């Protein structure tokens, strides 16, 4: 006898497929592009500043911060660029997953169709989580 999935399993499968679609669409959004560029810049400035994170914070929103990040980027090897890119992708991806989980839950509590969530807004919510404890992946890409 072949076991057939029950309605709960089918519903969970549909939910996971819808969440995956939202994740993939949000990942391709302009908001994600801007947020990951900012995150890349923040990472490079923190590398320049070393233990003085205040120095990095002081210039992150200024043209000289962008210029410094570009110089740091230019000094990286191709392998280092790949490693930092992977780190940034993992960091933002982790935030995006949490944003989807939280928003999906809120939709359920409020009886709102979660499949109507806007991918740009979801990506923007993910960007608000970038500095939250537990969101930064463990390890340094250059270690």
Sign for the pseudo-dihedral over CA of 64, 136, 36, 90: positive
Mean of the per-residue pLDDT values of the chain: 91
Residue 143's pLDDT is 46
How far is the C-alpha of 137 from the C-alpha of 97, rounded, in Å?
13
Q: How many angstroms from the chain centroid is the CA of residue 129?
A: 8
**In the predicted model, is pLDDT for residue 1 greater than 60?**
no
Average pLDDT (10-38) is 95
Reported pTM:
0.84
> How do residues 55-100 score in pLDDT, each as one tens digit?
988 999 999 999 999 999 999 999 999 999 999 999 999 999 999 9
Give dist(CA 115, CA 123) in Å, integer: 15
Is the alpha carbon torsion for 143, 45, 36, 16 positive or negative?
positive
| Separation between Cα atoms, residue 118 and residue 26, nearest integer Å | 8
Per DSSP, 137 falls in state P
Percent of the chain with pLDDT over 90: 78
């Amino acid at each position: 006898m072949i076991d057939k999935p029950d309605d709960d399993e089918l519903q969970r499968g549909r939910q996971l497929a819808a969440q995956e679609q939202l994740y993939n669409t949000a990942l391709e959004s302009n908001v994600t592009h801007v947020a990951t560029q900012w995150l890349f810049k923040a990472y490079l400035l923190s590398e320049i500043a070393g233990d003085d994170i205040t120095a990095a914070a002081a210039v992150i929103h200024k043209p000289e911060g962008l210029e410094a990040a570009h110089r740091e980027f230019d000094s990286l090897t191709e392998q280092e660029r790949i490693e930092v890119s992977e780190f940034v992708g993992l960091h933002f991806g982790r935030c995006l997953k949490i944003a989807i989980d939280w928003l999906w839950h809120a939709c359920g509590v409020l009886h709102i169709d979660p499949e109507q969530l806007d991918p740009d807004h979801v990506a923007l919510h993910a960007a608000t989580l970038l500095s939250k404890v537990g969101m930064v992946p463990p390890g340094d890409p250059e270690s």
